[in-house]
Amino acid sequence: MSIESLKALFRAELDELSAYRVPPAAPAVKLDANESPWPLPPAARARIAAVLHASELNRYPDGRATKLREALARGLGGSADEYVLGVGSDELISLIATAMCRSRANAERPVVVFPEPTFVMYGMTSRTHGWRAIGVPLDGAWDLDADAMADALERTNPNVVYYASPNNPTGNCFSRSRLEALIDAFPDSLHVIDEAYGPYSGQSFATFAEERPHCALMGTLSKVGFAGIRVGWVRIHEALSAELEKVRQPFNLNTAAQEIATLALTDLAPVIEEHITSVVAERERLATALDEHESLRCFPSNANFLLVQCAGNVGELCAALLQRDIAVRQFSTGDSRVRSCIRITVGTPDENQRLIEALRDILG
């Protein structure tokens, strides 16, 4: 059998997609990935080392991640059985696409709807699973276009609807009243609110999930200092979590990830809160400095990054920054409105100052 005949066995939807690529080498000032800029202090690292030292790495990890799910329930509410865990939010999106793929009556494929621009994996992962992915443009203020969303939901009757709040890459939280109205008007779809950046916003949609069985909350530790362990979760009604558990690989979270994540939610929670407070303060300082440039427009943010519209050539600006060993995020595809923007992750005070000085040098 030839390579071409084997390639013909791959999903047809893959022909329309490109692999998600990560730059091979990180520059000195890495402001392009929405990670926390703060390394853990020595005491926290020592606590993690002690726990891992005591772990039985010769054994399989706890297939149910019992301690971690209990820590999530204590910290975020609900019961431990409402939480399904994944290797970051990415795996959870894949689990939902795998488990909820039955097409509606009179539909050729299952449908997912999301406002856009937003997190690319909602659409990309759904498409790789054979779903029809429908993006609905946000309004001029980057908020939900309530009428357009309602029209899309009415026309397509989707299995799943995703909302990232705060949204990536725009940085803002969606209007609670608009979100609530959409969720209440379409109770036959699973509405997933992604709170990956929620810790930086001071807002939570926990009551939405508690009051509505067709609403789920997704979260992760990747944005608050633990991107390296890749732990995410979805809080969903127990009847639905039981179905998702059927498609989750039994040992998807390794022992080290489980132990570190549990510490992050318990003993190390004060460290995370301190870092979040620092990032929020730096976010405001950085936004003020960026607004000094007539050629830049900084949009309001509730996340750990800023979306900045550039009057000049975005590619040239990013290249000039990279020459100074500073990486920011550029958007070459997707919503045309963000192709004139860069996304800047909030760094440490020193990193942010280096960016500010570089922009003064480049833009004058």
Statement to judge: residues 28 and 64 lie in one domain: no
Statement to judge: residues 308 and 210 lie in one domain: no
Statement to judge: residues 238 and 306 lie in one domain: no
Provide the residue type at 314 as one letter: V
Question: Residue 304's domain spans which residues?
Answer: 24-40+270-363
Statement to judge: residues 133 and 188 lie in one domain: yes
Token match 């909302």: residue?
163
Query: Exposure string (b/e) for 304-327, b if CB count within 10 Å is 16 or more?
Result: bbbbbebeeebeebbebbbebebb
Statement to judge: residues 203 and 325 lie in one domain: no
Statement to judge: residues 194 and 149 lie in one domain: yes
Average pLDDT, the chain: 95
* CA–CA separation, 85 and 67 (whole Å): 12
State yes or no: pLDDT of 25 exceeds 90: no
Q: For the chain, where are the alpha helices, taking DSSP H only?
A: 3-7, 42-53, 66-76, 88-99, 120-128, 146-156, 176-185, 206-211, 238-245, 255-265, 269-290, 314-323, 349-363
Domain boundary among 267, 291, 324: 267
Q: Is residue 17 in a domain?
A: no
State yes or no: pLDDT of 40 exceeds 80: yes
Pick 100 or 7 by higher pLDDT: 100
Mean local confidence (pLDDT), 257-278: 98
User: Could you read off the pLDDT of 288-347 as tens digits, one per residue?
Assistant: 999 999 999 999 999 999 999 999 899 999 999 999 999 999 998 778 899 999 999 999
Statement to judge: residues 161 and 283 lie in one domain: no
The whole-angstrom distance between residue 271's C-alpha and the CA centroid of its chain comes to 21
Statement to judge: residues 85 and 209 lie in one domain: yes
Statement to judge: residues 60 and 185 lie in one domain: yes
Query: Would you place residue 18 in the very low, low, confident or very high pLDDT band (cuts 50, 70, 90)?
Result: confident
Q: Is residue 336 in a domain?
A: yes
Determine if the pTM surpasses 0.75.
yes
Q: Is residue 131 in a domain?
A: yes
* CA–CA separation, 109 and 301 (whole Å): 36
Q: Is residue 4 in a domain?
A: no
CATH number assigned to the domain comprising residue 249: 3.40.640.10
Query: What percent of the chain stands above pLDDT 70?
Result: 99
Statement to judge: residues 357 and 208 lie in one domain: no
Cβ atoms within 10 Å, residue 238: 13
Mean local confidence (pLDDT), 100-107: 93
Statement to judge: residues 298 and 262 lie in one domain: no
pLDDT at 1: 59
Query: Would you place residue 255 in the very low, low, confident or very high pLDDT band (cuts 50, 70, 90)?
Result: very high
Pick 282 or 14 by higher pLDDT: 282
pLDDT at 166: 98
Going by the DSSP 8-state scheme, the letter that residue 41 receives in this structure is P
Pick 316 or 12 by higher pLDDT: 316
Pick 161 or 312 by higher pLDDT: 161
Query: Would you place residue 11 in the very low, low, confident or very high pLDDT band (cuts 50, 70, 90)?
Result: confident
**What Å distances lie between residue 39 and 33, 42, 44, 207, 228, CA to CA?**
15, 9, 10, 32, 11
User: Could you read off the pLDDT of 109-143 as tens digits, one per residue?
Assistant: 999 999 999 999 999 999 999 999 999 999 999 99
Q: Is residue 253 in a domain?
A: yes
Number of domains in the chain: 2
pLDDT at 200: 98
Query: Would you place residue 246 in the very low, low, confident or very high pLDDT band (cuts 50, 70, 90)?
Result: very high
Token match 């999106």: residue?
93
20-24, 218-222, 261-265 — which is least confidently predicted? Answer: 20-24
Domain boundary among 212, 242, 267: 267
CATH number assigned to the domain comprising residue 317: 3.90.1150.10
Q: How many CA atoms lie within 13 A of 29 on its CB side?
A: 24
Statement to judge: residues 317 and 208 lie in one domain: no
Domain boundary among 251, 267, 283: 267
User: Could you read off the pLDDT of 64-102 as tens digits, one per residue?
Assistant: 999 999 999 999 999 999 999 999 999 999 999 999 999
Provide the residue type at 146 as one letter: A
State yes or no: pLDDT of 230 exceeds 70: yes
Would you say 363 and 296 are in contact if contact means Cβ atoms under 8 Å apart? Answer: yes
Q: Is residue 15 in a domain?
A: no
Query: Exposure string (b/e) for 38-73, b if CB count within 10 Å is 16 or more?
Result: bebeeebeebbeeeeeeeeeeeebbebbebbbbbbb
* CA–CA separation, 91 and 98 (whole Å): 10
Q: Is residue 141 in a domain?
A: yes
Q: Is residue 225 in a domain?
A: yes
